[in-house]
A and B are shown apart, each in its own frame.
Chain A
Amino acid sequence: MKTTNNYFLNDLSVMVGRSMRHTFRSLDTIITVTIMPLALMLIFVYVLGGAIQSGSDNYVNYLLPGVLIIAIANGIGYVSYRLFMDKQRGIFERFHSMPIARSAALWGHVLTSLVSNMISLVVIILVALIMGFRSDASIVSWLAVFGILIFFTLALTWIAVIPGLSAKSVDGAAVIAYPIHLLPLISSAFVPTETMPGPVRAFAENQPVTSIVETVRSLLSNQPVGNEIWIALAWCIGIMLVAYFFAMGVYRKRM
């Protein structure tokens, strides 16, 4: 007899197909994940761009990494939301009483978050190209950029799983999104950290988003990345692992 583990990939693809439909069918998800960051980019470039001294002649180039990070940060609130709704509506119970690989229900949400975020990143990069973004980065650099952004997405996604599974209300589930939204704003994503007052600057320079933004920026502009890339990776993978184990603990206990 086949065990349920043999079906993991089949079950996972059904789960991903399901929540991708959720993503594409809810207008507000698309707006938050893609249109909002795009609007932000337009405002920064065409409204504030003239006033901001970024120290580089192409402000779109300077801005793009931060916009990508914002897009990811905006999207993960939906992971919490969808998990919470599945839990509350008894969808998890239905799945868990069926002969399927148990963790497929959870991984479906995680992979959907990854796939939908990558799609919105590609859309944002295409629009940036129209707005004047240019890069002579090599394929390897682009791969490194996407590698880091994938790890960053997974790290935030696993963080978002925790309130999604444990919250008592929808608002509670979504609360994690707020501090994460702020992180890119207190970083070098939009303005150089040198302009910030002491303590803010100290925070900005030592929080994960800055090292990720700096790494992506260097990679895209063909500058040496130095140690920054390892700091960025260490942050992403470190957060991802801690959040993963914590989230799995919650999943086993509550589900």
Chain B
Amino acid sequence: MLQNDIAISVEGLKKSYKSVAVLKGVDFEVKTGSIFALLGSNGAGKTTIVKILSTLLKQDSGNALVNGFDIVLNSDSVRQSISLTGQFAAVDEILTGKENLIMIAKLRHLSKPVEIAENLLIRFGISDAADRRVSAYSGGMRRRLDIAMSLVGDPQIVFLDEPTTGLDPEVRIEFWKVIKELSSNGTTVFLTTQYLDEAEHLADRIAILHEGRIVVSGTFLGLKKLFPKSKVEYIEKQPTLEEIFLAIINKKGED
């Protein structure tokens, strides 16, 4: 079955809030084990897509399969296959970091929740703060815990909505490593970002969401080819993703 190859496939996805059409027919596919970056400016609808795919929100029309399961008809199985790290850290402030992880492990019905929690604390470098309440964590520690909570039980597909927003550059680079590691272990990573360099560094495929549709998608190299060769300068200049992004959006705005 295709299920093994394609982790996420989305077809004709539409969603409006009241009268405002946010998604006007979104199509894309994500290969199993790859890192897929969804790029878009503020309000483009990235979070809306993530919420629909993680079964929190129902689309108005269109279909999507996640791990081979229909997100509406088979939402239970979808939830078995995924984890969500929302745009804002969803951690329990009153519990300690360790208690947060244990709670998630129990809710995922895993045996040895304490062991799982301890391993993740070490892996994310927060074991020193394990028994402190999260309300005393810094923003970066919170986000690390947040992502650690999402990895409890090794879900096959991981949704990360702007995972590195608000992190200092050092922690960001650490995260990139974690994400690369996940993908090399076969986990599919779907992430949204506004940082073009993040997509450039991490993603196997990049899709740009603009005005309700995916306006381009492909590998970074592929996107570069779409961009007109830079005029001869003294040093040949490679277009950055940022330039590609702006060029595409401006072009769409003109016609």
B162: interface (CB < 8 Å):
no
For the complex, give the distance between the alpha carbons of A90 and B150 in Å.
13
Contacts of B140 in A (CB 8 A): none
Contact, CB under 8 Å: B79 / A97: yes
For the complex, give the distance between the alpha carbons of A26 and B88 in Å.
24
For the complex, give the distance between the alpha carbons of A99 and B81 in Å.
9
The answer, among A22, A25, A100, for a CB contact under 8 Å with B107, is A100
Contacts of B104 in A (CB 8 A): 98
Q: What is the interface of chain B, defined by CB distance below 8 A to chain A?
A: 51, 54-56, 76, 79-80, 82-84, 86, 88-95, 99, 103-104, 106-109, 133, 149
Contact, CB under 8 Å: B56 / A91: no
Minimum CB–CB distance from B84 to chain A (whole Å) comes to 4
Minimum CB–CB distance from B189 to chain A (whole Å) comes to 16
Contacts of A98 in B (CB 8 A): 79, 83, 104, 107-108
Contact, CB under 8 Å: B76 / A97: no
For the complex, give the distance between the alpha carbons of A99 and B104 in Å.
11
Minimum CB–CB distance from B156 to chain A (whole Å) comes to 12
Contact, CB under 8 Å: B55 / A14: no
For the complex, give the distance between the alpha carbons of A97 and B149 in Å.
12
A93: interface (CB < 8 Å):
yes
Minimum CB–CB distance from A96 to chain B (whole Å) comes to 6
A4: interface (CB < 8 Å):
yes
Minimum CB–CB distance from B29 to chain A (whole Å) comes to 21
Contact, CB under 8 Å: B92 / A91: yes
User: Chain A CB within 10 Å — which of B89, B106, B107, B149 has the most?
Assistant: B107
Sample of 20 further A-B pairs with CB below 8 A, known A90-B90, A97-B82: A7-B109, A10-B106, A14-B103, A14-B106, A14-B107, A18-B92, A18-B95, A21-B95, A22-B94, A89-B93, A91-B92, A93-B56, A94-B84, A96-B56, A97-B83, A98-B107, A99-B76, A99-B80, A99-B108, A100-B107
A-B contact pairs, 16 of them (CB 8 A): A10-B106, A14-B103, A14-B106, A14-B107, A18-B92, A18-B103, A89-B88, A90-B86, A90-B90, A94-B84, A94-B86, A97-B79, A97-B82, A97-B83, A98-B79, A99-B80
Minimum CB–CB distance from A10 to chain B (whole Å) comes to 7
Interface band, chain A: 20 to 34
Minimum CB–CB distance from A78 to chain B (whole Å) comes to 12
Contact, CB under 8 Å: B99 / A97: no
Contact, CB under 8 Å: A95 / B107: yes
Contacts of B106 in A (CB 8 A): 10, 14
Minimum CB–CB distance from A203 to chain B (whole Å) comes to 39
Contact, CB under 8 Å: B90 / A93: yes
Contacts of A99 in B (CB 8 A): 76, 79-80, 108
Do A97 and B55 form a contact, CB below 8 Å, given A25-B94, A89-B88, A90-B88? yes
Minimum CB–CB distance from A24 to chain B (whole Å) comes to 10
The answer, among A17, A25, A91, for a CB contact under 8 Å with B90, is A91
A56: interface (CB < 8 Å):
no
Contact, CB under 8 Å: B76 / A93: no
A214: interface (CB < 8 Å):
no
Contact, CB under 8 Å: B99 / A21: yes
Contacts of B56 in A (CB 8 A): 93, 96-97
Minimum CB–CB distance from A30 to chain B (whole Å) comes to 14
The answer, among B55, B90, B94, B109, for a CB contact under 8 Å with A94, is B90
Contacts of A22 in B (CB 8 A): 94
For the complex, give the distance between the alpha carbons of A99 and B107 in Å.
8
Closest A-chain residue to B149, C-beta based? A94
